[in-house]
Amino acid sequence: MEKVEGIIVGQGLAGTLLAYELSLRDKKVVIIDADEEQTSSKIAAGIYNPITGRKMVKTWLADEMFPPLPKYYQRLEQLTGSRFLHPISIYRPFAAAEEQNDWQTKAHDSQHRAYISKLHQKHAGIEGIRDEAGGLMLNVSGYVDLPTCLRAMREFFLAKGMLHTELFLHDKLTVSSNEVRYGDVEANWIVFCEGPKVMDNPFFRSLRFRPVKGELIGIQTGKELKHIVNRGVFMIPKRDFVQVGSTYDHQKLDWEPSERGVQQLQDRLRKLFSGQYEIVNRQAGVRPATFDRRPYVGMLQKTPRIGIFNGLGTKGVSLGPHFAQLMTKHLIDGTPLPEEVSIER
C-alpha cells in the first residue's frame, strides 16, 4: 500500500498547479490522469489579461494575481527546462469615442495605472487592425502555451513518481472517516481537478456548472503581429500562425469544430481586422465554467476528505496559481477559503 498526503484527479492546469504547490510544502501526492488528448487545458488559449470583457473592466482579483504571475510561470519553466510563458502586450481597441473619453481618466488613476502602458487616441499603427477610436495598450499580460506547460510538468511529475497514467474509476474509490483509498494508494484526502468530466462526478452533482464550448481558428495573414489584439475576438501571434478565438456555445457540448463556430469567428474578426487571411487550423474544446464565473475550491462539508478545484474557466492561467496556493494552505494549515469560491455558495 502506497501512503501519501493526498490524491489529485486530473493533470490539467488546476491539478498541475495544486500538485506543484503541495510539492513545495514537501507533501507527497499522487496524480491520477489518463493523458487524454481532449482536455480543456490543452485547447485553451492561455491568455492572462488584466482588463477584460466587453465593458473593459479590471478583472476580478487583478491586484492580487497579476503582479506575481510572470515570475510564477518562470519558476515552472526553470523547474522543467521548458519555455511556455510569453509575456506580450495586449491591445484593446476602443469601440467608440465615448469609451476613449472614459479611459482618459481611468488610465491615470491608481486602480488602472499599473496595467496600462499607453492610451492611443488615434490608430496605434498595427497593420490591418480597425481602431479608428484608438485603444489601450496593456502590460502585465500575455499568454501561457498550456499544452507545452502541461507536457513539461507531466515529465516532471513522472520523474518524481507522482503520476499514475490511468483512467480514474469511481468504483475503485473508498472513503472512510480516517482516509481515502484508491487501488493501492492510501491518502488523507482526494481532490478532483478533472475539468468538464466533473459533470459525471457523483460527488458534485449539486454544483452549478455551466460548461461552454469554445472554438478557435489559426490563420495566416502575411503580416507581422507584435501584440495580442482583443476586441470581439482575440488575435494571438504564434510562431507559424495567428490564433483567433473564441466562441461561446452552451448547447452543443462536443469537441468538434463546426462551420457555425468558424463563421462566427470570421464575422467578429471582420470587425477587428481588415486584411486577407487563410485559415490553417481549427480547434474546439469544452470549458468547465460555473454559473457565476467563479471557480469551485474546497472540501465537501458532509464528506470533508473529498474536495474539488475546478471551474477556472477562461481565466485559468491567472486564477490558477492564486487559488492553488489558497487550496494548499487550506489542505495543510486549515486556512479558510474565500466565500466567493465556496462549494456551499
How far, in whole angstroms, is CA 201 from its chain's centroid? 21
Question: Could you tell me the pTM of the whole model?
Answer: 0.95
CA distances from 53 to 57, 165, 342 (A): 7, 37, 24
Q: Are 199 and 14 in contact (CB under 8 A)?
A: no
State how beta strands 90-93 and 228-231 pair.
parallel
Per-residue pLDDT of the chain (345 residues; tens, 9 = 90+): 899 999 999 999 999 999 999 999 999 999 999 998 778 888 889 999 999 988 889 999 999 999 999 999 999 999 999 999 999 999 999 999 999 999 998 988 989 999 999 999 999 999 999 999 999 999 999 999 999 999 999 999 999 999 999 999 999 999 999 999 999 999 999 999 999 999 999 999 999 999 999 999 999 999 999 999 999 999 999 999 999 999 999 899 899 999 999 999 999 999 999 999 999 999 999 988 999 999 999 999 999 999 999 999 889 999 999 999 999 999 999 999 999 999 999
DSSP state letter for 129: B
How far, in whole angstroms, is CA 245 from its chain's centroid? 14
How far, in whole angstroms, is CA 77 from its chain's centroid? 17
